[in-house]
Structure 1
Amino acid sequence: MELKEAEEMEPVSPSGQYLNSSALSLSVLGVLESEIPIDDSQCFSLLKDIFLPINPRFSSIMVVDENGEKQWKRVEVKLRNHVKVPIFPSGLSPEAYDKYFDDYISEIGMELFPQSQPLWEVHIIKYPTSHAAGFLIFKLHHSLGDGFSLMGALLSCLQRADDPSVPLTFPSVNRFPSNKKDGNNSNIFSNMYKTFCVVSETVSDFCWSFVKSAWLQDDRTPIYSGDDGIEFRPVSVATTAFSLDQIKQIKTKVDATVNDVIAGIIFLGTRLYMQEMRQGSGEANSTTLVLLNTRAFRSYESVKDMVKPDAKSPWGNYFAFLHVSIPKLADDWSSNPLDFVVKARQIMNVKKNSLGAYLTGRLLEIVRKFRGPEAAARYIHSTLKNSSMTITNVIGPVEKMALNNHPCKGLYFVVTGAPQSLSVTIVSYMGKLRIAVVGEDGFIDSHKLKSSIENAFEMMLNDFFSPLKST
């Protein structure tokens, strides 16, 4: 690769170094489902004129300078090295192409990026499956940015399908349920009690997270093997979609957030799957890592604004891991499945009052300063490996999008390269929540787990609409 004459060097952020190291290498695959067959005749011009100018990271490689520090170095991008168009057998049915598509997702998810070129690829699938007429897969290394950043970049390439001149809009974000306050909340005793709660919850949360990350593994279950090298094994992806309006109805009933409801559904569905696969595992000690966006301002800005030093929603990796124990499957769970949402709300409310995630971030900084970024990356690897699964979500647009006059029927993303057998990702789009279950192929039946999550949602809806139930 020939270097540009005017080379530009910029330090790699600490999180970028952690996520692209000998211990850890994560990738994000954003999947766009097209309503019509894909015409890729303008692919290279679109990448050159629209995608590459979005952010200098897309034209940079990660190098080590003379001081041993990692830097982003601008290079000349050879687009043909970044665009992949696989060839499948011709003339098959959409159902037959489902298998080829699933295998291809697993294959590119396992492949590591060559470090000699910018860390992104575009994969164009021209074969119709039972889900779409064609696919565009944007594969980007996690060191380029988190899901929020990469979604912002993706949206910079897309337009509203009905009117490209009108900007896309997004669902309103309310991270906390409305809390009823009484007139005594401002007195000194109340403030002292709140301070005590924050301190005690922070100490408990940080200590437990540290023990979990450093030593304590989850119980062996149908979703957790504890094996080494899971990040190098094939994966299987299954997706489903829920109505955002129905999620909000449940949210209102239990005075929770949308994220609480989603977590409760996934928790219950996962426990049902575990119990079906192995009796008694519904009561095992299992932990989820919930990824929290740590930006103070969480609405999307243009990427041009995101890369500014004083950006309200800055580009990069701004997230923290929250250790959350998956509620156990009690004997009477079927009489009130909404209890899983209530439990998820209670757990998350405690986490919101804790500074444990902040202290964990400071701990990583200390490890990086005194032992180097590779040691910090090993700590994150251990954090992931000792927990059963990860849940992460991203907000998508309300309106239908289009890319170069290709209407986008659906949208989802997956994260690969983590030392876990299971992850669940969620993205909202056109009033739906698209959930992707990514499981270790041969160990987790992703489609059966997806069905269990669907069953959990149906049970909660039935509980919600039951005339015999009261709030």
Structure 2
Amino acid sequence: MEIKTRRDTSETTVRKDGEEEDEEEQPLSPAARVFHSPEFNCYVISVIGVKKKIEPDVIIEGLKQSLIRHPRFSSKLVSNGNKKRQTQSWVRTNVVVNDHVIVPDIQTQNIENGNANADVFLESYVSNLTTVSLDISKPLWQLHLLDLKTSDAENVAVLKFHHSLGDGMSLMALVLACMRKTSNPDELPSLPNQNRSSSRSSRLMTGSRGDSRFLWLVMVIWSAIILVLNTVCDALEFIATTMFLKDTETPIKGDFRLSKSKRMCLVHRTVSLDDIKLIKTAMKMTVNDVVLGVSQAGLSQYLERRYGERKKKVGEDKESKKNSTDMPKAIRLRSALLVNLRPNTGIQDLADMMAKGSKCRWGNWIGYIVFPFSIGLRDDPLEHLQRAKRIIDRKKNSLEAALTFVAGQFILKTFGVEVAAKIINRALSNTTMSFSNLIGPIEEISFYGHPITYMAPSVYGHPHALTMHFQSYMNQMTISLTVDPTVISDPHRLLDDWEKSLQSIKAAVQERGSRSLD
């Protein structure tokens, strides 16, 4: 299939008039410098499906009024000095918006719109984007507008950012700040309220005043002890992971030494958020707990099949198994869970930054939690939820995420970017995968007048063969997988296993509920 790229060469620019001198040039943060190192040339990609044919001129005009008013999206990367003492800075520049908006002329004679062929074409197009670096002589972002009807969207937009512009959570919040409610084009998207249940200490206050104070003091001391112990254990595990503690060599674990400049494959699947919420309510969990538990079940099913296929290739006798599984009994499979450490910066703050030039915190403020998945087939699928919840509850009572962030900053300042990148790369490469989950709008929103059907963000460039990202939107959840196709050649089967695991767990929850009513 042939693609011809069309660009509007009109000189539409945004000037720097009125900017203060100290905003004209800003040094790269240590984290941004790491993302430009050879070990971490990371990018964020977000595939956005819309309900109508895309009007490029409308979107370009919208970008002029919003996204490029953000300092990072109107600055280019400038390097000074030699290799030993090189400095890098963001320098404000005139932005030719049309140079960043790409409208490919897709030759559709071999694509039957609306069926699987268009979906395959989209996956191939996005995969090709992972092999091309952005031009550092311009601000490091692109928007691709595809006049392509897929099975779940009328047209598709693909946003590509360099990760040095900010962490993925901030970048997606910025994208949302460029959008408006379909029902009211003047209103920003609304995110669900995250009501946290009252703590045990607050519930203790319902007793007598003297007893409650004593119990409150005991609880505070005990919680502090547990917090310290958990943090120490997690710190030791992180140090061991950096030095020698490696995950099991499973069929989904890639070799980072062989993964440089590889083409990555990005696929997505949308499921019902109501199903996840049903499980959440019945099991008294959070959405994130359910997503982790279902992911654990789905990975177990997928690995069971992959190990079974591997045994068939080497000709092992099936009868010798005697009902045992094809997987090893003990598998160490850990994920790096991304945690946002930024002081709360809302969509309104980012919208004000673009509209009024106001300031809010920006940059890469992310820590990591090393989350061990309990891999194995279970007679009761609800065990996956319970095991995942126990682990994440313990991780919540730890300063692991903040510790990894502080440790990274210390290593950067003490030993420099090159050493820090190698250490972080080694730590991540000794785990198996990355995992993140973002909360999205609860109502339909529009991208410069184009109603959105789904958003599927993800990231690539780090040393993992598998990244799982979850994005909620209205009453649905979109699962995005970024995989190294030389390691995971069938990502759609992994999505199938995830969806089947969700339905299996939902059925078990409903069965438990019906039994309790008998």
In the superposition, the TM-score normalised over structure 2's length comes to 0.83
Length, aligned pairs only? 465
Amino acid at match of 2:370: H
Question: Does structure 1 retain, via aligned residues, the 8 Å contact 2:131–2:261?
Answer: yes
Question: Does structure 2 retain, via aligned residues, the 8 Å contact 1:411–1:434?
Answer: yes
Amino acid at match of 1:214: M
Does 1:204 pair with 2:204? Answer: no
Does 1:338 pair with 2:382? Answer: yes
Tell me the alpha carbon deviations over residues 368-418 of structure 1, each in whole angstroms, 9 at most, x when there is no partner. 122112222222222322211111122211111112322111111111112
2:410 is aligned to 366
C-alpha displacement at 1:281, in angstroms? Answer: 4.7
Q: Name stretches of at least 5 consecutive residues in structure 2 with no aligned partner.
A: 1-10, 308-325
Provide the C-alpha distance between the structure 1 equivalents of 2:516 and 2:383, rounded to a whole number of angstroms. Answer: 13
Which piece of structure 1 moves more, 319-328 or 374-383?
Answer: 374-383
C-alpha displacement at 1:198, in angstroms? Answer: 1.2
- Measured at CA, do residues 156 and 300 of structure 1 come closer, stay the same or move farther in structure 2, by a change above 3 Å? closer
Which piece of structure 1 moves more, 451-460 or 378-387?
Answer: 378-387
Provide the C-alpha distance between the structure 2 equivalents of 1:304 and 1:405, rounded to a whole number of angstroms. Answer: 17
Question: Does structure 2 retain, via aligned residues, the 8 Å contact 1:221–1:281?
Answer: no
Tell me the alpha carbon deviations over residues 228-280 of structure 1, each in whole angstroms, 9 at most, x when there is no partner. 23252222233222322332222223222111111111111011101111021
Which of 217, 231, 246 is equivalent to 1:217?
Answer: 246
C-alpha displacement at 1:457, in angstroms? Answer: 0.3
C-alpha displacement at 1:453, in angstroms? Answer: 0.4
- Measured at CA, do residues 81 and 309 of structure 1 come closer, stay the same or move farther in structure 2, by a change above 3 Å? closer
- Measured at CA, do residues 231 and 262 of structure 1 come closer, stay the same or move farther in structure 2, by a change above 3 Å? farther
Between the two proteins, what is the percent identity of the paired residues? 28
Provide the C-alpha distance between the structure 2 equivalents of 1:374 and 1:437, rounded to a whole number of angstroms. Answer: 29
Does 1:85 pair with 2:103? Answer: yes
Does 1:58 pair with 2:76? Answer: no
1:32 is aligned to 48
- Measured at CA, do residues 298 and 179 of structure 1 come closer, stay the same or move farther in structure 2, by a change above 3 Å? farther
Provide the C-alpha distance between the structure 2 equivalents of 1:39 and 1:310, rounded to a whole number of angstroms. Answer: 31
1:47 is aligned to 63
- Measured at CA, do residues 206 and 258 of structure 1 come closer, stay the same or move farther in structure 2, by a change above 3 Å? same
Amino acid at match of 2:131: M
Q: Name stretches of at least 5 consecutive residues in structure 1 with no aligned partner.
A: none
1:416 is aligned to 460
Question: Does structure 2 retain, via aligned residues, the 8 Å contact 1:423–1:437?
Answer: yes
Root-mean-square deviation (CA), in Å?
A: 2.7
1:165 is aligned to 186
Which piece of structure 1 moves more, 153-162 or 203-212?
Answer: 153-162
1:72 is aligned to 90
Equivalences for 1:250-261 in 2 at 5 Å? Answer: 250-261=279-290
Equivalent residue of 2:492, what SS? helix
Question: Does structure 2 retain, via aligned residues, the 8 Å contact 1:206–1:357?
Answer: no
Which piece of structure 1 moves more, 198-207 or 377-386?
Answer: 377-386
Provide the C-alpha distance between the structure 1 equivalents of 2:196 and 2:133, rounded to a whole number of angstroms. Answer: 35
Which structure has the larger Rg over C-alpha atoms? Answer: 2
Which of 444, 460, 465 is equivalent to 2:505?
Answer: 460
Equivalences for 1:125-136 in 2 at 5 Å? Answer: 125-136=146-157
Provide the C-alpha distance between the structure 2 equivalents of 1:169 and 1:158, rounded to a whole number of angstroms. Answer: 11
Equivalent residue of 1:115, what SS? coil
Which of 472, 475, 482 is equivalent to 1:428?
Answer: 472
Amino acid at match of 1:301: Q
In the superposition, the TM-score normalised over structure 1's length comes to 0.91
Which of 392, 399, 424 is equivalent to 1:355?
Answer: 399
- Measured at CA, do residues 366 and 348 of structure 1 come closer, stay the same or move farther in structure 2, by a change above 3 Å? same
Which of 437, 461, 469 is equivalent to 1:393?
Answer: 437
1:107 is aligned to 128
Provide the C-alpha distance between the structure 2 equivalents of 1:343 and 1:408, rounded to a whole number of angstroms. Answer: 35
Provide the C-alpha distance between the structure 2 equivalents of 1:341 and 1:253, rounded to a whole number of angstroms. Answer: 12
Provide the C-alpha distance between the structure 2 equivalents of 1:309 and 1:320, rounded to a whole number of angstroms. Answer: 26
- Measured at CA, do residues 41 and 305 of structure 1 come closer, stay the same or move farther in structure 2, by a change above 3 Å? closer
2:424 is aligned to 380
Provide the C-alpha distance between the structure 2 equivalents of 1:450 and 1:349, rounded to a whole number of angstroms. Answer: 26
C-alpha displacement at 1:214, in angstroms? Answer: 3.4
Does 1:290 pair with 2:337? Answer: yes
Question: Does structure 1 retain, via aligned residues, the 8 Å contact 2:188–2:347?
Answer: no
Question: Does structure 2 retain, via aligned residues, the 8 Å contact 1:271–1:282?
Answer: no
